Amino acid sequence: GERQGCIVRRPCRVMVLVNPQSGRGQALQLFSGQIEPMLTEASIPYTLVITEHQNHARDLVRETDLSQWDALVILSGDGLLFEVLNGLLEREDWEEAIQTPLGILPGGSGNALAASVHHYTKSPPAWGKELLLSCGFLLCKGLVTRLDLVSVHLASSQRIFSFLSLAWGFVADIDIESEKYRLVGPMRFLVGTLMRLASLRVYQGRLAYLPAPPSTPQNSSLCSSLPCGPNSSPNQNSRHNHSTNSNHNTVLNSSNNAITTMRTEPQPVNRKGPPDSLLADLEQPVPEHWTVVNEEDFVLVLAMFQSHLAEDLFAAPGATADDGFIHLLYVRAGISRLALLTLFMTMEKGGHLAIGCPHLVYERVKAFRLEPLSPEGAITVDGEMVEYGPVQAQVHEGIARLISA
Ligand code: ADP
Ligand code: MG
């Protein structure tokens, strides 16, 4: 039941999840050296959880009693947050679970969300320890904003949730190849980019998307604060109605007739997470009002859901945590190595969209579908390799909550 009329502030209860293997393997030292003193100073009680293997965090948050926690904080790279989000959305009570405020502290080699969150504070760029302290400070401040998630359908009809990016071609190959340079930390993407440029190739595929309607300027997205923070309220203010899973079809019918008629099968009753009202079945053609890209030869397709792809890759300069957009970038085949290198070098400061590169296209979309035709290749979601094959995705505006500025 809802707690009402309580105005007494109490300390936050924070679960800090640390992946001791992330980045250069220093996440635990970063915790005890930098973050623990900050939490102590701010009188924030925490419980430290050190992950022992892949999917440990995912299983834990899927089973745990979430009422014990005011926030789940991840000290690792983006991969551990990916686990936590998907664990939350695999729960029976996903609609409530996904409202748990999430915090990110950069401890990995890919710290894109931390870099994005720092960017949203409008502070000048920061790296390494400075970025960690900035994110630690935001955690102690405890302001919570909304976070978009993107549901991604894979060929085997599996669905995963992403907060950061989907990549195919050049960028996905860098994600994977650079894993072996993990020990150089965030520099691994630079090393990987240079290696990939040397063996540049073309990727065949089909791309289609649902363009986003022209937007009006957004208001500040601050939605609440942690119990220990300023303006805190003990009631979690949810804008979602807590409807049951069984009425997914009703939701689809009332919100989008065009799509409903394309569905031949009802959604599985026990599918958890929000329904994807914008998507047709992956075996069927995309809805008629979608834009189908003419080219089939690409160097890369990159869908961004936050501003940064890595600490030094400001790939979607216009993106905010909850703008409700997928920032779709693609590079057509025919680009020279020099032009591609220039793109990635200007991306460090977010200037790549302004250099008039004729091979680069940028669109703000609500959903997209990518069907690779090349027999081999890689697709990454939030930097993690997923099943290779046709994929489609749609954005769910602001369904998660993020400790941010
Ligand atoms: P990095 O940015 O260094 O890649 P991530 O947080 O992305 O760091 O973690 C890399 C991978 O390690 C992720 O797939 C994550 O699920 C996995 N992982 C989490 N905890 C552990 C652990 N204790 N041992 C090994 N792998 C782990
Ligand atoms: Mg990672």
CATH class, 159-213+283-398 region: mainly beta
Q: Is the CB of residue 51 below 6 angstroms from any atom belonging to ligand 1?
A: yes
Q: Is the CB of residue 380 below 6 angstroms from any atom belonging to ligand 1?
A: no
What are the distances in angstroms from CA 364 to CA 103, 222, 323? 26, 23, 10
Task: Write down the pLDDT at residue 260.
Answer: 33
Closest CA to 98 of 110, 111, 89: 89
Domain with CATH 3.40.50.10330 in the chain: 14-147+218-225
Question: Does the structure's ipTM exceed the value 0.85?
Answer: yes
Model confidence at 251, pLDDT cuts 50, 70, 90, reads very low
Decide if pLDDT at 133 tops 90: yes
Ligand 1 atom closest to Cα of residue 383: 7
Superfamily of domain 14-147+218-225: Probable inorganic polyphosphate/atp-NAD kinase; domain 1 (3.40.50.10330)
Domain with CATH 2.60.200.40 in the chain: 159-213+283-398
Would you name the residues annotated as active-site residues? 78
pLDDT digits (tens, 9 = 90+) for 76-89: 999 999 999 999 99
Closest ligand, as measured to the CA of 181:
1
Residue 64 CB contacts under 8 Å (≥ 6 apart), including other chains:
none
Task: Write down the pLDDT at residue 11.
Answer: 59
Closest CA to 224 of 399, 397, 84, 401: 401
Residue 39 half-sphere exposure toward CB, CA atoms < 13 A = 21
C-alpha 384 – ligand 1 centre gap (Å): 10
